C-alpha cells in the first residue's frame, strides 16, 4: 500500500527533483506539499512549489501550504547554488498564486485526518514543523515518522565549517523538533554526500518530450554549472533526493539509533548537530540516523522512480 507522505520543502533544485519523484511514485500517496523559507525567501518558496506541481500536472494534486516569513532565522539563503529564483533561473510562471493556508496548518490538518498514518519528509529548515508542534502539542505523537534531510555527524558542514544549511537556517526550530517525542530519522550530509551524480545522470532521465524530463533538463544544468564554477566539482549532490530515496527504499540505508541535539547559540557553531557518542552516552537516543547508503543503488532508485514519473506524465 502507498505510504501517505507530506513533503515540507524550500525549493531548491534538489527539493524539486524529490517532488518530481514523489508526485508519481506509486509507493507514495503525496497528500500535501508545504513550503518553507530556506534556499529562497518564503514567497518564492511557495511560488516554486506551485510552479513545480503545475508544470508536472500529476493525476492527483496534493494540498499546498504557503510559507510565511521565518522570524529569527539566519539571514542567509542558498541562491548561489539554486539560482535567484531557486529553480535555476528558468523564469517559471505560476498561473496565479492560489489562496493557500499556511504550511503549519496544512500539516496539522493532514496529520489529524489520519493519526499515525502520515510520514513527514522535511527537505528544508524545520520552521513549519516546529510551528505545527506548537500549534498542536499532541501532533508529535500522531505523526508516523519524520524524515529529516540535514545535519552532519562528522561535524563537516556545508554552510559554515560545522553546520549544514537546513539546521543553520533555523537552529531553534531544529532543536525544538530534535527534542520533541516524534519518531524521527535523520539523513545527514555524511550520507547524502556519498551519492555523487556525474553528468551521465542527465542521460538517464526520462526523455525531454515528457513533462518531467523536460522540466529536469531545464533546472539541473544550473546545479552542474554551480558545482563546477563555485566548488570546482564536475559531479553534483542532490541531498534531498537521497532523503526521499530513504523513504522509498529504506533497505538501501544503514541506520543507527543516536541522541542528537542542535547548537543554537555558538558564535562559530550555530546549527551544528551534536551527538552524544560517548562510550556511555548520557543523553537518551532520540532518532535513527542514516550512517551509510549504497550510492549506486540509491542512484538506480532515483532513475527508476523518475522513469515512472516520465511514463505517468506524458508530454505537454
Ligand atoms: C540542504 O540545503 C539545501 O540547499 C538543499 O535543498 C538541502 O535541503 C542540504 O544541506
Ligand atoms: Ca531543501
Q: How many Å lie between the centroid of ligand 2 and the Cα of residue 206?
A: 23
Q: Is 213's C-beta closer than 6 angstroms to any atom of ligand 1?
A: no
The atom number, within ligand 1, closest to the CA of 39 reads 4
For residues 22 and 28, the answer to whether their CB atoms sit within 8 Å is: yes
Looking only at the bridges linking them, the beta strands covering 28-35 and 63-66 are: parallel
For residues 223 and 187, the answer to whether their CB atoms sit within 8 Å is: no
Ligand nearest the Cα atom of residue 169:
1
- Whether the pLDDT of residue 316 is over 90: the answer is no
Residue 228 is among the residues annotated as catalytic for this protein: no
> How confident is the model over 36-59, as pLDDT tens digits?
999 999 999 999 999 999 999 999
Q: Is 121's C-beta closer than 6 angstroms to any atom of ligand 1?
A: no
Beta-bridged to residue 197, according to DSSP, are: 236
Dist CA 40 CA 50 (whole Å): 14
Band (pLDDT 50/70/90 cuts) for residue 71 is confident
pTM above 0.75, yes or no: yes
Q: How high is the pLDDT of residue 314?
A: 60
Question: Pick the residue with more confidence: 315 or 209?
Answer: 209
> How confident is the model over 133-169, as pLDDT tens digits?
999 999 999 999 999 999 999 999 999 999 999 999 9
> How confident is the model over 271-309, as pLDDT tens digits?
999 999 999 999 999 999 999 999 999 999 999 999 999
- Helix H or strand E segment including 58: none
Band (pLDDT 50/70/90 cuts) for residue 75 is confident
Q: How high is the pLDDT of residue 70?
A: 81
Say if residue 12 is preceded by a cis peptide, omega within 30 of 0. yes
The atom number, within ligand 1, closest to the CA of 192 reads 9
Dist CA 13 CA 163 (whole Å): 20
Ligand nearest the Cα atom of residue 149:
1
Helix (H, G, I), strand (E, B) or coil at 260: strand
Q: How high is the pLDDT of residue 226?
A: 98
Dist CA 152 CA 164 (whole Å): 7
Band (pLDDT 50/70/90 cuts) for residue 97 is low
CB atoms closer than 10 angstroms to residue 256: 13
Mean confidence (pLDDT) of the chain: 96
Amino acid at each position: 500500500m502507498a505510504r501517505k507522505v507530506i513533503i515540507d520543502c524550500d525549493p531548491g533544485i534538489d527539493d524539486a527533483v524529490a517532488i518530481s519523484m514523489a508526485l508519481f511514485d506509486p509507493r507514495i500517496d503525496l497528500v500535501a506539499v508545504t513550503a518553507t523559507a530556506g534556499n529562497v525567501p518564503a514567497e518564492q518558496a511557495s511560488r516554486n512549489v506551485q510552479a513545480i506541481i503545475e508544470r508536472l500536472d500529476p493525476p492527483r494534486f496534493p494540498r499546498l501550504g504557503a510559507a510565511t516569513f521565518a522570524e529569527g532565522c539566519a539571514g542567509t539563503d542558498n541562491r548561489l547554488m539554486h539560482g535567484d529564483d531557486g529553480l535555476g533561473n528558468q523564469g517559471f510562471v505560476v498561473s496565479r498564486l492560489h489562496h493557500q493556508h499556511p504550511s503549519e496548518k496544512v500539516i496539522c490538518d493532514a496529520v489529524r485526518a489520519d493519526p499515525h498514518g502520515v510520514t513527514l519528509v522535511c527537505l528544508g529548515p524545520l520552521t513549519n514543523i516546529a510551528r505545527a508542534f506548537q500549534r498542536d502539542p499532541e501532533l508529535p505523537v500522531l505523526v508516523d515518522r519524520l524524515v529529516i534531510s540535514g545535519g552532519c555527524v562528522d561535524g563537516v558542514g556545508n554552510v559554515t565549517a560545522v553546520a549544514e544549511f537546513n539546521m543553520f537556517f533555523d537552529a531553534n526550530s531544529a532543536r525544538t523538533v530534535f527534542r520533541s517525542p516524534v519518531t524521527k530519522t535523520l539523513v545527514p550530509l555524511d550520507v547524502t554526500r556519498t551519492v555523487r551524480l556525474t553528468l551521465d545522470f542527465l542521460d538517464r532521465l526520462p526523455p525531454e518530450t515528457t513533462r518531467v524530463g523536460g522540466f529536469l533538463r531545464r533546472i539541473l544544468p544550473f546545479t552542474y554549472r554551480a558545482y563546477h564554477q563555485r566548488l570546482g566539482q564536475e559531479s553534483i549532490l542532490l541531498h534531498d533526493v537521497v532523503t526521499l530515496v530513504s523513504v522509498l527504499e529504506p533497505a538501501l540505508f544503514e541506520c543507527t539509533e543516536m541522541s542528537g541535539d542542535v547548537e543554537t547559540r555558538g558564535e562559530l557553531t550555530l546549527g551544528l548537530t551534536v551527538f552524544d557518542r560517548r562510550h556511555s552516552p548520557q543523553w537518551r537516543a532520540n532518532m535513527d540516523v542514516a550512517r551509510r547508503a549504497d550510492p549506486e543503488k540509491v542512484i538506480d532508485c532515483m532513475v527508476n522512480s523518475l522513469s515512472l514519473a516520465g511514463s505517468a506524465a506524458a508530454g505537454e
